[in-house]
Structure formats: structure tokens, C-alpha cells
Structure 1
Amino acid sequence: MQQVLIHVIPIFFALYMYVSLFHKTRLHWVIRGVLLFLILISCQYPAFCRSFFVGYDDRVPHLGIVLYCWLFSTQLLLVLAAFAKDFVGLIYRLVRKTKLPHPTTTAVSLLSIAMLVAAFGSYSALSQPPIYRLDVPIKNLPDSLDGFTIAQLSDIHASPLLDRSRLVKVVERTNALKPDMVAVTGDIVDGKTEARLQDVLPLKELHAPYGVFAIEGNHEHYVDYDAWMATYPTLNMTVLHNSHQILDVNGAKLAIVGITDPMAARYHREYPDIKKAMSGIPEGTVSILLSHQVKYSRDYAKYPIALQLSGHTHGGQIFGMHWLAQIINKGFVKDKYQIGDMLLYVNRGTGLWYGFPIRLGIPSEITLVTLKKKN
């Protein structure tokens, strides 16, 4: 049933958009036919993602996948434009007692704008993430930890869209920051190990004196969970499952705590357990929590945690839509939030899920966190 819906629902929205914008225009019937064909093709992108991206995507050139993403993004914007046009048209008819003028001009204008904006949004989604620098003042921070740096990568979503070549550059730029530690906060890959292993291999080249730590995200649970959990350690990443590791930084102790993802409940795997993860950490130790999702951050703040690093939201990806993402994630969507004595930082995503391949006004990021003594 789910496979049927993923084909049918997009067709419904595509046809609505076509009828709303193009059906009554004076465009030549050939042009309208080509538009309808492209609209029907692009609306099947979600189904393409589910069925084609799990192992057979190598049959499609990367440029072809990028162009398909652009078509899909254009259609998404046109659907929104159709809703907006119909709403404005309804108000216009109520006030002026007549229909909106020039349907052909309206349709062509909206199509042109959508194509340009989608091209920019797709470029923003696929381009290299900017570096975001964050200073975190911590009370009673030992002198040895003053200036300790953590590079955070989150929501890499290695896929046929965000492939090996992009991740190679991400790793190079991360290493150039010379961080003391690297934190990878979930949603590293989309797809089966045999299909995507080559795309995540660049992570093995991440270098930091105190190691590379990783946690699972919700996307790890969807495909080949056990295989990926066995693969990540071979990429020189220490994976934390409701556990911690204490670093000795020139005599000062720093606890890196990692918890599982709430999606584990759906698959009968280990649910996030902050109490278990924090158990055994000596009192007074500075603790940093890695948690992919942010929904339970207020509960985590009840524990002696100085900093929580998270992702999952992608910052909302589109300005305006980020307010909806904020509501869904209990008030957290991007940047920093002070919750009692704990600072929460939500990374906007180093990559993004290929099923929604557009960013507008909310860029991706590589975060460089620097711990500072609080005056």
C-alpha cells in the first residue's frame, strides 16, 4: 500500500498544479503536452529515491540525478505557487467579482521563477558547506580544555546525490580546521552497505588527536542497520550507543557521551537512555552529549551536561519552512539554545536527505566548536 501511495499522491499534486497553472493558458498544445510529461516524470522522484537509490543508481550518471532533483524541486515550488495563486485568485474574485487576468503570463512567469529558484536551491543543497565557528563558554572549565576544538559533521546523508566526491572535499576541509576531536552526529548514509560503502569511505581520512566519535541517526535504522554499525568502526570512528568515553586532555577529563536515536523503538532496538550513557562519569567531569535528535533536550539538560551537539532538523532547509520544523522539534531547529546550564547546538546539516534536495536561505554547515572558560 505504501508503494502505491508514494506513486499516487505525487501524481495528485502534480495534476492539480498542471490544471491550476497551465491547462487554461494559450500555450501551444505541444508545449502543454511537454510540460505535462515533465511534471508527471518529476513527481515520481520520491518513488525513484525509494526503489532506485538502494543499489542500481550507478546506471544513472550523476548529472542525470542532479537534473532530476532540479526538476523535482521546480515542481515542489510550482505546487506551492499554484496554491498561492488559487488563494489570491479566490480573494480577487471575492473583491473584484472577476477572475485573475492573463493566465498565460501568470503561468509562464511562475514557471520561470520556479526554475531559477529551484536551480539556486539545488546548487545551495549540493555545494560545499560553509564553516560555522562557535565559542562555548563553560563554567569551571579546566585550563587544559580552554581552547579545545570539536569539528561537528551532521546529516551527511551519503547517497547517489551527495556522493563520494563531495564527501572527500568535506573531509579535506574538516581536517584543514585541525580540530582536537571530530563528532559525527548521525544520518551518515542512505542506502545499503554494498551500494553506498564507497561513498562513505572518505570518512576514514578524518584526523583528530582525540579521535572521531559518531552516533546513529534515524536514517541508520531504515536500511542495513547492523551492517552499518559494524562498518563505521572500520572507518576509524568510535560509535557510542548509550555510552561514553572519557578523554584525558593534558590531565583534564572530558566525557564524550553518545545516545541512540528514538527511531530505535520502531525497530525494537535500544532506545535512548541518558541515565545509562552518563553512568560512571566522575562528578565534576565536563560532559559533552552527542544526540542526533533534539526532542528530549530539556530532559537531558537535567543531567550535568555542558554542551549537547545535535542535528536532524537540517535547519528547516527553506526559510519560512524552518518555523514548521521548529514546532515539530519542540522549539529547536538550528543554532544555539541555552537550557539551564546546558547549551544545545543544532547543526543545520553537512548534507541533506536526497528526498528533499533543496535549500533556500538556510545553508548547510561544518561546525567548529571551541570550548572556552566562562568568566
Structure 2
Amino acid sequence: MFFLMVAGLALLAQVYVWRRMVWDTTRPGRARWIGTAVLVGMFLLMLAALLGAREMRPETARWFAWPGYLWIAVLIYSTLALVVLELPRLVLSRRLALRGRVQRHREPARELAEPSGAAAGPEPAESVPAPEEPVDRGRRLVLARGTALAAGVAALGVVGYGASSALGQPNVKRVPVRLDRLPADFSGFRIAVVSDIHLGPLAGAAHTERIVRTINEQQPDLVAIVGDLVDGSPEHLGDAARPLRDLDAPEGSFFVTGNHEYYAGFEGWRAELERLEVFSLLNDHTTISRGAGRFTLAGVNDVAGEDIDEGPDFDRALAGTSADNARILLAHQPVLIDDAVRHGVDLQLSGHTHGGQMWPGSLLVGLQQPSVAGLSKVDDTMLYVTRGAGFWGPPVRVGAPPDVSIVELGAGLR
């Protein structure tokens, strides 16, 4: 259903862009056919990227994933730019049409004003507006080409900026959080929160190395990977994940599933991550101790696991934990915050939203999730949502730069 919805919207946008940037800007002939063929080809590459990239080896998939996914971003921002330009285009088109009608009415008036007689020669034939029509068509063509050029330049500029953001070094965000039940021994305890790395045909080992290097430079006490690590199988992406072995945190590195892990087949990844010394909290918990103090670190499966009876189970994840200890929960989607509140969780760490990834995506994400990014509070539970360190689909981020978040815990009243 998700694919059909995306494909349907993309087809509508594709037809609109074709009409404004090909049909309106060309005369019948070779140029129009070439423009149409290019747009059809890009649409097919986009469908191939959406349908086939996860099932192929990255070195094969990237040949159509790069142009196909980038075209999605260009299509989105071309459509937005053309929509914004519709009103001025319409106004200018009306003014040109009005100017043409005025000029055609002035010609007969000038002819009637000229003196008649023998010297004036034979009476002219009735004025026909048809000779002026090519002039009007030429003006409309110039306007259409100017609009298409402005929209194309704007879209390419935004996509270029967004690609440099998505493929660059993730930002480091420092987030102080005070928890009432946290023992004083943990004041200053640092959790590196990273999500939505999305290893795949466009994000390989170099992407992972960059993220690992960013995390290690912050010298965290614990690393929390809150889902959507991969977009493919261990057989295809094992090399891309291997740098995770270099994560350096005294209390270890922990992982919970996101929705994309279930698309890729998680069982193989569970064994692979354990080999890389990244420990999965699948509806489970562990206790983190420092001096005489301790807190519970729990993790729940993503809601996508419900399709195979492996959905989030808070009772199981928190079974046997003490209500006197602070509870920190790793949960991929912020939408689980209501369950976290009911189970007495002090802090939930989530991802999934990408911060919207490409504006105005943040407006749509806000309709589905209680938080798009950042720190918030729901009843007595704190919720922190990272924008994620990778990208899904287009390697583009606009208004939502990638980040690695360092959550620094403090004891005492919030």
C-alpha cells in the first residue's frame, strides 16, 4: 500500500512536471519527444530503485539507485517550485493575452483613421487577427520556458544543497536530561544516540566509518542504536556494517529494531550484530551499574514486528526490573511514548522520523508521530527523538541535517 501510494503521487507529479517543463516549453517535434523520453526514463529508474535496490547487491543496485533516488528529490522540488510559480505565471500569461488583444484592436482603428480617396489606393481587405496568433504563441513559449528554467534551477540548487548535507559529517547534538530517579553516580553519564543509518546501495562502509568516528570522538559511556540500521541482508551489507565493531564505549553498544529491519529479515542481522559486539535488546533489558547506583536500559521491538508476532512487548522488556531504578527505554518510533508512560519509563530514546528529512516532510511526519525531533515531555516521561545519521530514498536532507546525539544524564528534579 505504501509503495502504491508513493508511486501514484510520483506519477501525478511526473505528469505535472512533464506538462510544464516539456509540453509547454516545446513545439511539436524532436525536442518534445526527447524531453518526454528523458522523463519517462527517469520515472522508470525511480521505480526500479524503489522496487529492486534492497534485493540486489549494492554494487549492482547503485547504478540505478543513485539516479532513481536523486530523481525523486528533483521531482519533489521541481513540483513545489512550479506550484509556487503558477500564480505569477498565470498573471503574466493573462497580461500577455490582454496586450495581444489590445494590439489587434488598435490596427483596424488606425486603418479607419487614414484618409480615403484615389491617393489612398484600393480599400484594404478586412483585418484578420490570425497573423497575430504566432506572436502570442511565441510570447507564451518564452514565458513557459522562463518558468521551467526558474523551477529547474531552484530544484537543482535545493537538491544539491540537501545532498551535501545528507552525505556529509553528521552534526553532534548535546542534550542534557535530568531524571528524578537517576542515582547521583550517573551524573554526567553520556549516551550516544544514533538512528536511521540505513546502510544500503547508497550508504556503505565509508558512511558507517564516518558515523563511528563521530561517535568515538565524543567518548560516550554507552552507544544506543535505535533502529533502521540496514536496508538489505547481511550477505549484501555485511561489509558496510563491519566498522560498527570499532565503536568504543565502556558500557557497550546496544540496538533495537526499526521497521526496516523487518523488511530486510532481522534474524540474520541479530547474529551479525552480536559478532560485531553490538547487543540487541529485543523486548529485553540490561542493568547499567556505576558505584552503588544503577539504572535499567530496556529495548522494545518496532511495531512493524507485529506482522510476525514480534511486536513491542513492554511487560516482557521490563519484567523483573525495580520501580526504584530509573528506566531508560530504546524504542525506534516515538509513537510508543504512551506505552512508555504507562510503564513508568523515565526517558525514551527514539528515531524513525529523520526530522522530516526533506522539508516539507516534517509537516507530514508531525501528523503521524508525537514528536518530529528533539526533547519533549509526556506526563512524567521524557522523550528524545534524534533526526538520524543517514537517509532513506533520496540521499538528500533539507531542513533536517543528520545528527549523532549525546544525551548527558543528570540526577535530580527536571
What's the CA shift string for 1:108-147, capped at 9, x where partnerless? Answer: 1111111111111122122121100000011143121000
**In the aligned structure 2, how far is the partner of 1:201 from the partner of 1:40?**
38
Label 1:84 to 1:47 Cα distance change in 2 as closer, same or farther (>3 A).
farther
Equivalence for 2:336: 296
8 Å CA contact retained: 1:210, 1:247: yes
Determine which of 217, 220, 233 is the counterpart of 1:192. Answer: 233
What is the RMSD of the two structures over their aligned residues, measured on CA atoms? Answer: 2.9
8 Å CA contact retained: 2:351, 2:388: yes
Label 1:80 to 1:93 Cα distance change in 2 as closer, same or farther (>3 A).
same
Equivalence for 1:173: 214
Report 1:267-278 matches (<5 A): 268-278=308-318
What's the CA shift string for 1:219-269, capped at 9, x where partnerless? Answer: 000122221122221110110111110111122111100001111122x23
User: Residue type matched to 2:372 in 1?
Assistant: V
What's the CA shift string for 1:134-162, capped at 9, x where partnerless? Answer: 00011143121000000011011011111
What is the Cα deviation at residue 82 of structure 1?
3.6
**In the aligned structure 2, how far is the partner of 1:149 from the partner of 1:143?**
14
TM-score normalised to structure 2 length:
0.81
Equivalence for 2:246: 205
What is the Cα deviation at residue 76 of structure 1?
2.1
8 Å CA contact retained: 1:184, 1:214: yes
8 Å CA contact retained: 1:218, 1:261: yes
What is the Cα deviation at residue 173 of structure 1?
1.4
Label 1:179 to 1:20 Cα distance change in 2 as closer, same or farther (>3 A).
same
Which ranges of structure 2 fall in alignment gaps of 5 or more residues? 99-135
Determine which of 313, 322, 347 is the counterpart of 1:307. Answer: 347
8 Å CA contact retained: 1:155, 1:311: yes
What's the CA shift string for 1:248-292, capped at 9, x where partnerless? Answer: 1122111100001111122x2322111221111122111100000
Q: Secondary structure at the match of 1:134?
A: strand
Greater helix share, 1 or 2?
2
Equivalence for 1:360: 398
8 Å CA contact retained: 1:245, 1:255: yes
**In the aligned structure 2, how far is the partner of 1:8 from the partner of 1:211?**
44
User: Residue type matched to 1:312 in 2?
Assistant: H
**In the aligned structure 2, how far is the partner of 1:60 from the partner of 1:326?**
32
User: Residue type matched to 2:408 in 1?
Assistant: T
Indicate the percent of aligned positions where both proteins have the same amino acid: 28
> How many residue pairs get matched?
371
User: Residue type matched to 2:368 in 1?
Assistant: I
Determine which of 326, 330, 338 is the counterpart of 2:377. Answer: 338
Q: Secondary structure at the match of 1:43?
A: helix
**In the aligned structure 2, how far is the partner of 1:76 from the partner of 1:240?**
37
Equivalence for 2:368: 328
Label 1:295 to 1:95 Cα distance change in 2 as closer, same or farther (>3 A).
farther
The higher radius of gyration belongs to: 2
Label 1:239 to 1:13 Cα distance change in 2 as closer, same or farther (>3 A).
same
Which ranges of structure 1 fall in alignment gaps of 5 or more residues? none
Determine which of 265, 269, 274 is the counterpart of 2:306. Answer: 265
User: Residue type matched to 1:334 in 2?
Assistant: A
What is the Cα deviation at residue 172 of structure 1?
1.2
